[in-house]
A and B are shown apart, each in its own frame.
Chain A
Amino acid sequence: MEEKFIDLMKEKGCHGELFQIKNYRLKVNFDNNKFKSIEEGETSGVAVRLKKNNKLGFSFSTDSKDLEGTIKRAYENADVSQEVSFDFAKASTVPQVSCFDKEIVELARDEIINTGKENIEFIASQKSGIQGFFSMDKSLLYEKIITTEGFSDEFNRSVLTVQAGGVVAEQGNFTWVFGEIGRSSKSLIDLNILKEKIEKNLKHAEKNVKIESGKYPVIFTPFAIGDLFYPLKMALDGRNVVKGVSILKDKLNQEIFSRQLTIVNDPLLEHGLVSSPFDGEGIPSERKELVSNGKLMGFLTDLFSAGRLNMKPGNAARSLTSQPKPMPSNITINGGTEKLKDLLNLKKAIIIENLMGVGMGNMEGGEVTGNIDLGYLVENGEIIGRVKDSMISTNILEAFKDVILSSETIWTHAISSPYMLISDVSVSTKG
């Protein structure tokens, strides 16, 4: 493949990059407290980026044998495409990263089914009438990048992802509890985290309590951090900084958040969910501190934005059909000094397990506005009951300024986070 690609690019007189992907997946689904189905398959394809008169052509095909056709289409598309001045990745030494686990490769379907059965029985036993669901997804990914500048490397990643939870539907009261975890090592998948979350939440959600609209201290659990992180991710996106639409664009090296907050992007994390030796453009992976003790240290960049911002690239991610763009890798948000129970020791606060509808708010502006899908009222350290029919509204620029972090942290999916206490959040409710 390599020789053929280089030859074809020579013929066209272009610099270029070839991306090849193969993904085998086996997913076992349980729903309504029992086994439902298996989905199994392999997808693959090739994608080409090339520069023609400084314009970037891109095309892809799910037919991996159609390299010539893909190059031809990329060449044609270049005429209408974006202007770029960056060069594709050069030959480099690429770090060693642990992201392939033989145990995941050898994990047999029937073993997954048995694990599923155990877990679904656990969920079903938690509450009468609960409809439990559980899915375990084994994925074996292969990626290869070749460039005309000399880069040529490939890697394999094995990933195990688990989603588990249940829904209790009663007239006038729906309760969804769920969680998701994933790593590239089987031994790091701790299903007890999910079991505990499900058990605790069902217990806390047994009673509903009424609250008044107003301002509250709000604690986001690690499972809810994704919603706070989304607008932050948009603001840290190098491309958004280039476009002038990041709320952090002029704030590099400034102390913008609480000194307690340190956020690191780590593609080298051992057995991380999305760990890789090089990014989606063939740039060798490096750990990057995005926020250090409240100070903004860097942005997530790809070749395009790195070039414009005069920074290092290395945070590009892609799928077969999409061009690479900046994306967070494994993210660690450090813990603080206070234990969760001390953090909760407030006169009145709301603890949020899950928000709904956040994606539609003004996230470019840093807004986090959403429904409290699952959340509780805390009074003097005790969880009193579930809060319903309420919305919260806050902005990360303010929220992260005075955030207090618990010492406990949990890995959920690709973010490791503590519990976060934000002191002044608007809560609107019925009545």
Chain B
Amino acid sequence: MNVDEIRSLVRRNDVDYIEVRLEEGVASDIAISGREIDSISRGKIGGGNARVLISGIWGFVYFNDLSELKEKIESAISQAKTLKGTVDEKVDLAYVKPVEIVNTVNVKKDPDSLSFNDRVDLLMHYSEVALSTDKKVVNTMISYREQKKNIYFANSEGTYVQREMLDLSGFIIPMSSDGREIQRTLVTFGSNSDFSVAENLDTVVREKSLLAVKLLEAEVPKGGEFPVIADNPLGGVFIHEAFGHLSEGDFLAEDPKMREIMKIGNVFGSKILNVFDTGDIDGHRGTLFYDDEGVPTKKAYLIKEGVLSSHLHSRETAAKMKEDATGNGRAVSYRFPPIPRMRITCIDNGKDRVEDFVKDIKYGVYAKGSFGGQTNGELFTFVSEYAYLIEDGKISKLLKNVSLSGNVFETLKNIVGIADDFRIEDTGGGCGKGEQNPLPVSDGSPHLLISKAIIGGK
């Protein structure tokens, strides 16, 4: 990759703005069920794009053959030029100071410090641990994904960001069956720098396998609206789905009603609620020091003491809303243009104790872990890994098939307790938005006490 050549190709004066992104690296994927390898995939990925702004209109062209860069730049320019007069868009970009930086990953344990063979063996070993825990553990679903790439970004403002990206993540799902139904639990991990998050998981795999068996005998909750205690992973998924997506600038910028709903200064929760999104905590899947527009990322407090205080922007949405760029412009790969996405999204630490939450609940649910969540802006939903019934201030029965949902705005206001045990979670999978899926992100939360949420059940 000839840095000088790339940088010179974007020094043009026949466009208002131009950027190129090139990437090359290796992607690996291991999928295991039971004692068999489902598939192993390891190969080279590479490609690039050129994104151009001419008179407020975007041109965007992507390609795999990096030797075609020059030609594709011309295509993108011609695309934007020929749109003039056909369409009425007028895009501006928020100002950011140009930077020139080579950003490397602070690698704590490189996955390549183990042979690929050893990585596969490790996952097979976990499968064996799960299966040998109990004869009712009939299968496992294990997935490991890794991407190691170099990303080169240059724009006509003089920004040049060359960054290393390492993303590793996975999950180990023990599956149990009693012949009539199937239950599952989840062990998950992820990092941007440290393969050791995938190591030494025997104990937790064993525990979760035993739990999967116990879930076969557990009760399905009564459906309805109840007080809920959400643990750290669940709190993290909740804030990501319930609030993170709502804060993304492209959802807000041109919708006057949404801008009103998400106006800075609106009250979203009680004074105990603080929510932030950041890229600058190292070690996590959502760690990001420079976003995909070359913008240095910084911590954005979305909610401060219950009050909305910031949105998440790409340069385009920041300009549209006349706010500062926040460093949230991300693209899952060269195939797509950057759009506002989350990084590490968290409910900040609180002062309460989880024990006190339980004591005050007459009938409710203590929901633990999550298989993921979804939102439509107003409604959020997620499935917890398992849960406990709380009766008369005490934890009682184990519950299974526990889905939670609620109105986003009401539920935020219904967070009446935030514990002092904040934790960031890195899990397998990733965030999906349109076709840009899965994007490595992290979320974090302490335990939460929500005065009411809808539990799906019989």
Which residue numbers of A lie inside 8 Å of B, CB to CB? 31-32, 34-45, 47, 58-64, 66, 69-70, 73, 77, 79-83, 110, 113, 129, 131, 167-174, 176, 213, 239, 243-245, 247, 321-323, 325, 356-357, 359-362, 364-365, 367, 369-371, 373, 388-393, 426-431
Contact = CB atoms under 8 A, between A and B. Distances in A.
Given A113-B86, A391-B454, A360 B43 contact: no
A80 B43 contact: no
B216 to A, nearest CB: 11
Given A360-B374, A370-B381, A428-B456, A325 B64 contact: no
Interface in B53-70: 58-65
B59 A70 contact: no
Given A62-B64, A63-B46, A391-B223, A373 B379 contact: yes
A59 B182 contact: no
Contacts of B95: none
Contacts of A131: 254-255, 258
B138 A245 contact: yes
Contacts of B257: 129, 168-171
A174 B45 contact: no
B339 to A, nearest CB: 10
A73 B116 CA distance: 12
Contacts of B47: 43, 62
A37 B381 CA distance: 31
A110 B27 contact: no
Question: Which of B121, B182, B253, B457 counts the most A-chain CB atoms under 10 A from its CB?
Answer: B182
B382 interface: yes
A429 B454 contact: yes
A39 B336 contact: yes
B83 A38 contact: yes
B62 A43 contact: yes
Q: Pick the 3 closest A-B CB pairs, nearest first.
A: A428-B223, A357-B381, A41-B62
B255 A393 contact: no
A364 B44 contact: no
A428 B116 contact: no
Size category of the B interface is 35 or more
B162 interface: no
B42 A391 contact: no
Contacts of A391: 223, 381, 403, 405, 454, 456
Nearest to A47: B43
Contact of A61 (B43, B75, B86): B43
Contacts of B260: 171
25 contacts: A36-B89, A42-B63, A43-B62, A58-B40, A59-B42, A61-B43, A62-B44, A62-B45, A63-B44, A66-B44, A73-B42, A77-B40, A80-B40, A81-B40, A167-B255, A169-B261, A323-B39, A356-B375, A360-B403, A364-B182, A371-B405, A391-B223, A393-B401, A426-B456, A428-B454
A373 B29 contact: no
Contact of A359 (B177, B372, B378): B372
Contacts of B37: 80-82
Contacts of A174: 376-379
B383 interface: yes
B208 interface: no
Nearest to B452: A430
A44 B64 contact: yes
Nearest to B381: A357
Contact of B41 (A239, A321, A360, A427): A321
A324 to B, nearest CB: 9
Contact of B182 (A41, A43, A245, A370): A245
Contacts of B117: 79-80
A82 B403 CA distance: 36
